[in-house]
Amino acid sequence: MNRKHPFLSLLPLQLLLVVSLAATATASATASSLTETARLLAGNTAGSVVAGVDDWLFLKEDLAHLAAGRFWGESANAAVRGNPPADPIPAIRHYQQQLAERGITLYLMPVPPKPLVYADKLVPGLAASAAEIAVYEEFYQELAAAGVQVIDLLPTLLARRHEAELYCRTDSHFSGAGLELFAEAAAAAITAEGWTRQQPARTSRLREEELNIRGDLATIVRGEEAALESLPVHLVQWEGGGEVVPDPAGPVLLLGDSHTLVFHAGGDLHAKGAGLFEHLSARLGFAIDLLGVRGSGVTPARISLYQRLRQDPAALAGKKALIWCFAAREFSAGGWREIPLSR
The helix, strand and coil proportions of the chain, stated in percent and rounded to the nearest 5, come to 45, 15, 40
**Domains contained in the chain, number:** 1
Residues 229, 4: Cα–Cα separation, whole Å = 10
Q: Examine residue 156 and state whether it is found in any structural domain, yes or no.
A: yes
Nearest to 337 by CA among 85, 78, 55: 85
pLDDT of 3 > 50? The answer is: no
The answer as to whether 337 is a domain residue is: no
Alpha-helical regions (H) of 118-161:
130-145, 154-160
73-96 pLDDT, tens per residue? 989 988 887 777 789 999 999 999
Q: Which whole number is the average pLDDT over 182-201?
A: 95
Q: Does residue 276 fall inside a structural domain? A: yes
- The string of pLDDT tens digits covering residues 207-260 is 999 999 999 999 999 988 889 999 999 999 999 889 999 999 999 999 999 999
Task: Enumerate residues 6+ apart whose C-beta is below 8 A from 265.
Answer: 272, 275, 292
More confident residue, 20 or 78: 78
- What is the mean pLDDT of the segment spanning 103-128? 97
Residue 155 domain-assigned? yes
Q: Is residue 4 part of a domain?
A: no
Q: Is residue 340 part of a domain?
A: no
Q: Does some domain include residue 160?
A: yes
The pLDDT mean for the chain works out to 90
User: Is 3 part of a structural domain of the chain?
Assistant: no
- Domain residue limits at 263: 11-332
